Amino acid sequence: MIKPAPSMSLIFSGTTTIASLAGLVYVALYPELPHALLLTGLFSLLLVSALGSYFAFQHAIRNEIGKPIDNLLKKNSSSDSSPRQMMTEETRIPQIKKLLAAYDTIHRELHETKALLDNNSMSDSITGLPSRSLFKDRLQSVITEYQRNRKNFSLLCVDINRFKEINDSLGQDIGDTILHDVSKRLSNLLRDMDTIARLGDDEFAIILKDTDIEGASNVAEKILVNFGMPFFVENHQLLVGPSIGIAEFPLHANSGSKLLQKANYALNIAKNNHLGFACYDESKIHDQVIDISLASELRDAINGNNLQLFYQPKFSLTASKVVEVEALLRWIHPDRGFIPPDQIINVAESSGLIHPLTEWVARTAIQQQKHWEEKGVDLGVAINLSVYNLQNPHLISIIQFIMSECETNPERLILEITEGAMMRNPEQAKEILSTLDKMNIKIAIDDFGTGYSSLAYLKNLPVDELKIDRSFVMNLKDDDNDLAIVRSTIDLAHNLDLSVVAEGVENQESWDKLHALGCDLIQGYYLSKPLPAEEFINWYHSYNEGNKQSA
């Protein structure tokens, strides 16, 4: 380390100051001395100091500033073969100027490099789209502009469903390619005036200028339809479903961060309810808060075995007897009372509890089936699966484990899966259903007629039973259209070797019509409402008794 030489100028300035101070002290101590004498003394002292300072400065230039410059120049001028002369003051000044100019250049270049780096972090390296920080700036300038012009625009938050799974199972390179292709597809669906950015992971944000909620919903629908087409990456054909949340400026918020927050809120609603897209809705916030507390109580109810299964019989028209039961979930909440099973399932699906809940249902129903069997009552038991259960890689092993635990005959287990759930991811559904079929477990298509599937498509799936949705059955006695639909469904299902269950049979007329149409099984309030296990078995025995007597 180079120690700076003590500056001569400092020494002389110090001397000057001390001399002046001494003068002042002198005046203070001997005020009676003649002022002219005193002032002459002081002036000569000042003169000596000033001269000293000048020589000290010259010395410093030569030795303290000049030396490092000389050294620098010496190092940098290796091509200069002539013996280097000690510099004169005239040559030194231009050299200092040169150095200052070089310093300026370095400074400017550093500044430019920093600007370039900043700019790079403003765009996302995978998609080339603006990053979160640039997006925030853009959002703010659109807000400023639209506030001034009193216009509205919409903000879309887009999230790729199950992106993490793609990344985990196929690797990050494929994940990156998907993100890149997703950004291309999204960009192609937008106008030049719209802004799209990647906020992070699998999150995108879009500003649709001059667009209200309705217009934004149309764009969201367009995106969903487009994403119905698979992505082709390497040898993979992948369906990538987005969820979209929409908020409108200034209707829902008038600051960038609030607007993002509201669009994200809507995104969560869309995700949790499999809606594809959702618009921010103030009135729904209350329901969401209730759902969160209900979810934690549901967790406790599952763990504490405080749920119940009710059993509703399915009567075989061909065998003239009750052959199966459907297990239906019941939860009597200590404060809120009866909670409809659809609502329980919704809460379970949006909180991840659907897996432990379905496991609880499967175990309880299979144990019950075994218990009845041991008492001489041979009934198949059907349980309902959610679309999420089909995405659970452990579903098969859990069912296998419970069946071996209870030593059940797999043929006595029926899994009811809604048509909508099967259609959500047909390839995945087919794979799981094939495995279950190989295990000799029966599969029923639930709520048939409410989805978009055709029987021709269902022909490819290993299903055994088709349940006509109760909305077509309940008015069968009065509605000829329903009758026509039920008739053709039964015929087609039989052509595909499926047995048909009509659910929602509420009267003798419907029962008779279904019998005449060749329906295989009947389920509905007319036979019996769903009942707790004990009550059900009493009903079952007395029903069989009654049947025997009337036969």
> Residues interacting with Ca ion, by CB under 5 A?
384, 416, 446-447
The nearer residue to Ca ion, 206 or 329, going by C-beta atoms, is: 329
Instruction: Name the phi and psi angles at 220, rounded to 5.
Output: -60, -40
Kindly state whether residue 16 participates in binding ligand C2E, applying the rule CB under 6 A: no
What minimum distance in Å lies between the beta carbon of 403 and Ca ion?
20
The nearer residue to ligand C2E, 167 or 510, going by C-beta atoms, is: 510
The C-alpha angle with vertex 445 and arms to 306 and 311, in degrees rounded to 5, equals 35
Residue 211, binding choice from Ca ion, ligand C2E, none, Cβ under 5 to 8 Å by partner class: none
Binder to ligand C2E among 244, 345, 390, 517 (CB under 6 A)?
Answer: 345
Nearest to 69 by CA among 47, 46, 37, 91: 91
Binding pattern for the stretch 295-334 against ligand C2E, x by CB under 6 A and - elsewhere: -----------------x---------------xx-----
Contact 216, 263 (CB under 8 A): no
The C-alpha angle with vertex 140 and arms to 138 and 146, in degrees rounded to 5, equals 100
Residue 324, binding choice from Ca ion, ligand C2E, none, Cβ under 5 to 8 Å by partner class: none
Kindly state whether residue 539 participates in binding ligand C2E, applying the rule CB under 6 A: no
Question: Rounded to whole angstroms, how far apart are CA atoms 137 and 53?
Answer: 55
Kindly state whether residue 390 participates in binding ligand C2E, applying the rule CB under 6 A: no
Instruction: Name the phi and psi angles at 219, rounded to 5.
Output: -65, -40
Contact 152, 213 (CB under 8 A): no
Kindly state whether residue 384 participates in binding ligand C2E, applying the rule CB under 6 A: yes
Name beta bridge partners: 233: 236
The nearer residue to ligand C2E, 361 or 443, going by C-beta atoms, is: 361
Q: Which stretch binds ligand C2E (CB under 6 A): 112-120, 213-221, 290-298, 339-347?
A: 339-347
Residue nearest to ligand C2E (CB): 524
The nearer residue to ligand C2E, 9 or 389, going by C-beta atoms, is: 389
Instruction: Name the phi and psi angles at 50, rounded to 5.
Output: -60, -45
Residue 530, binding choice from ligand C2E, Ca ion, none, Cβ under 5 to 8 Å by partner class: ligand C2E
Residue 328, binding choice from Ca ion, ligand C2E, none, Cβ under 5 to 8 Å by partner class: ligand C2E
CA 387 to chain centre: 18
Binder to ligand C2E among 223, 368, 530, 533 (CB under 6 A)?
Answer: 530
Question: Rounded to whole angstroms, how far apart are CA atoms 180 and 132?
Answer: 16
From its phi and psi, is residue 546 left (phi > 0), alpha (psi between -120 and 50) or beta? alpha
For residue 74, count CB atoms less than 10 angstroms from its CB and return exposed for 0-12, middle for 13-18, buried for 19 or more: exposed
Residue nearest to Ca ion (CB): 416
Question: Rounded to whole angstroms, how far apart are CA atoms 368 and 285?
Answer: 40
The nearer residue to ligand C2E, 219 or 421, going by C-beta atoms, is: 421
What minimum distance in Å lies between the beta carbon of 449 and Ca ion?
10
Question: Rounded to whole angstroms, how far apart are CA atoms 266 and 278?
Answer: 5
Calculate the alpha carbon distances from 404 to 444, 448, 468 in Å: 22, 31, 32
The nearer residue to ligand C2E, 503 or 520, going by C-beta atoms, is: 503
Please tell me whether residue 530 adopts helix, strand or coil conformation: coil
Kindly state whether residue 386 participates in binding ligand C2E, applying the rule CB under 6 A: yes
Residues from 404 through 433 that contact ligand C2E (CB under 6 A): 416
Please tell me whether residue 317 adopts helix, strand or coil conformation: coil
Name beta bridge partners: 155: 207, 247
The nearer residue to ligand C2E, 183 or 384, going by C-beta atoms, is: 384
Q: Which stretch binds ligand C2E (CB under 6 A): 41-49, 88-96, 162-170, 498-506?
A: 498-506
Query: Binding residues for ligand C2E, per CB under 6 A?
Result: 312, 328-329, 340-342, 345, 361, 384-386, 416, 446-447, 470, 503-506, 523-525, 530
